[in-house]
Structure 1
Amino acid sequence: MEFLNPLREQLQSMWLSLVQVLPLLTIALLVVLITGILSRVFVGALLRSLARSGLRPALQSLFATLLKVTIWLVGLLIATTVVFPSLTPAKMLTALGLGSVAIGFAFKDIFENFFAGVLIMLRKAMRIGDFIQCQDLMGKVEHIALRETYLRQTDGQLLIVPNRLLFQNPVHVITDRDLRRYEIIVGIAYSEDVETARGIILQAVEGLPLVNSAQPVEVYAREFGSSSIDFTVRWWGKSAPLDRHQSRDQVVQAIKAALDKAGVEIPFPYRTLTFKAPVPVQTESSDAAPQ
């Protein structure tokens, strides 16, 4: 079986090479293990320090992630040079530089989301717990990661949004302030007195529990509608979505009850039908004999 001699020699050579490199592999594994321990220790210490500083949670997560990535890059670089002594850090950086263009095209979306996440975390406008709206997306910010943001929608569903979308499009931070101004339109009949109706609406809205008393309630005659004189009613309430619905519900009920009590008509749309020719109308006598 002499034809197997080359194969046997090759296997022996591979085994000897493995035995020679085994101590280096062991050292590299120890370096990786130490890197993991150092990463946990330093990141934990950084998070505790940042928590005492009162920094925003998004920035705390950003700094912790950047420190973790830096430690792991240094650790893996050391482990690689231990296993492959001829591969110096300078050569590795050169190889990364040559391949950066190809890597950039291959991971374009990932890099865009990464840098967008960093910039979003640095911004003060959007915080954890805020309700935001971006295009057709709306929800409560639960977590901001480096590549995506987690939104909890009002129906309970979790929405994962790429950071690039939030960075490149306008974002409405609904709960940036505790109070928001709301408005509805109320119509009264043309036969009603405008100033009287204005006073009734104003009195009905002022003093409601969900209407902020520190801000004035505003009632403006808006326009001549098709069936009514319309008023714009404005008030301030809490900015969360549930508070908005509750406040609007309370205001609508109070205005309707006050206008009904005062006898002020809230008209519905009228329709007047005209015909080119007279329409014959047949009437049936009440004393007609039954068939």
Structure 2
Amino acid sequence: MLPQLLATLLVIVLTWGIAFLAKSIISRVGRKLHLRSNLIEVLSMLSSVGIWLSGILVAVTILFPSITPAKALTTLGLGSVAIGFAFKDTFENFLAGILILVREPFELGDFVECESIEGQVEEITIRDTRIRQTDGQLVVVPNHLLFQNPVTVRTSRDLRRITIACGVAYGEDVDEARDVIKEAVRKVDTVRNDVREVEIFAKAFGASSIDFEVTWWTGSKPLDVRQSRDQVVAAIKSALDSAGIEIPFPYRTMTFAEPLPVQHVDRE
């Protein structure tokens, strides 16, 4: 058995060296290609696992000649099936994590929304993705959830369109009100009218007002959106007040089938 043991030991040492060399090559090439560090680690791990499985298979056949490679592969295949059923969810998240890292639908720092979960991507691992919500809470999302469901990447671009509604009284001039609102929005610092023009459209006959749809572009981060919306609303209110254009309260008109008697009560 001594020659077989020495040969087995040699195969294990060679396997370790080849696995180490493969990880070094993948790490070097990945950095040159500017791949994500998590993706480099995944590729290194997969290559290492494949090399070690092959090396152990060769070592077993050398140490136990009665075990042929075909028998070893059959046993390994049956064991893999059993392990696959036992750890179905884990492997599903693992494969989804690899595909997310390879396809890169979103990056670290992006603000995303999926299945009522919304926040900033802090970390992408093989098993899960960690999303920090705007209220500070951390949500650990299984990768298969992000892979199988639609994901809205709110910061895929630097700009984002915002729309609000604004109403003026029926007695006001629609064209004048439109011009006043448009000029007020264009003067707001956070409105990117240098890239996309501000759009104001009369939208509908409301219950108490002519409703305008006010649309502009600003930064794509949630804080940018909230700040810009706040400034635009304040600017429109100030501009309409200065122009003497009424923003009406809700009106109610009541009708009666029969005339109502009116009685004056003298309170003395």
* TM-score with structure 1 setting the length: 0.76
> What CA distance in whole angstroms lies between the structure 1 residues aligned with 2:30 and 2:120?
24
Q: Cα deviations across residues 57-115 of structure 1 (Å, max 9, x unaligned)?
A: 45334323423444554566678779878666554322121233332222111121111
Matching of residue 247 in structure 1 with residue 233 in structure 2:
no
Name the CA shift for 1:68/1:131 in 2 (closer, same or farther; >3 Å): farther
Q: Cα deviations across residues 169-217 of structure 1 (Å, max 9, x unaligned)?
A: 1110111111111110001000110000000010001132111122100
Aligned-residue offset at 1:246:
0.8
Unpaired runs of at least 5, structure 1 = 1-19
SS at match of 1:190: coil
Letter in 2 for 1:163: N
Unpaired runs of at least 5, structure 2 = none
CA RMSD of aligned residues (A): 3.2
Matching of residue 214 in structure 1 with residue 195 in structure 2:
yes
Cross-structure match for 1:7: none
Name the CA shift for 1:61/1:100 in 2 (closer, same or farther; >3 Å): closer
Matching of residue 104 in structure 1 with residue 84 in structure 2:
yes
Number of corresponding residues: 262
Cross-structure match for 2:243: 262
SS at match of 1:167: helix
Letter in 2 for 1:101: V
> What CA distance in whole angstroms lies between the structure 1 residues aligned with 2:33 and 2:112?
26
Cross-structure match for 1:115: 95
Q: Cα deviations across residues 111-141 of structure 1 (Å, max 9, x unaligned)?
A: 2111111111121321121111011111111
Cross-structure match for 2:163: 183
Name the CA shift for 1:188/1:84 in 2 (closer, same or farther; >3 Å): farther
Name the CA shift for 1:42/1:96 in 2 (closer, same or farther; >3 Å): closer
> Within 5 A, what are the aligned runs for 1:26-41?
35=16
Letter in 2 for 1:92: A
- Which shifted more, 79-88 or 192-201? 79-88
> What CA distance in whole angstroms lies between the structure 1 residues aligned with 2:41 and 2:238?
51
Instruction: Give the fraction of aligned pairs with identical amino acids, expressed as a percent.
Output: 53
User: Larger radius of gyration, structure 1 or 2?
Assistant: 1
SS at match of 1:180: strand
Q: Contact 1:58–1:128 at 8 Å: present in 2 too?
A: no
> What CA distance in whole angstroms lies between the structure 2 residues aligned with 1:68 and 1:266?
69
Matching of residue 166 in structure 1 with residue 146 in structure 2:
yes
- Which shifted more, 37-46 or 170-179? 37-46
> What CA distance in whole angstroms lies between the structure 2 residues aligned with 1:219 and 1:44?
58
> What CA distance in whole angstroms lies between the structure 2 residues aligned with 1:240 and 1:138?
12
* TM-score with structure 2 setting the length: 0.82
> What CA distance in whole angstroms lies between the structure 1 residues aligned with 2:57 and 2:119?
41
> What CA distance in whole angstroms lies between the structure 2 residues aligned with 1:225 and 1:197?
15
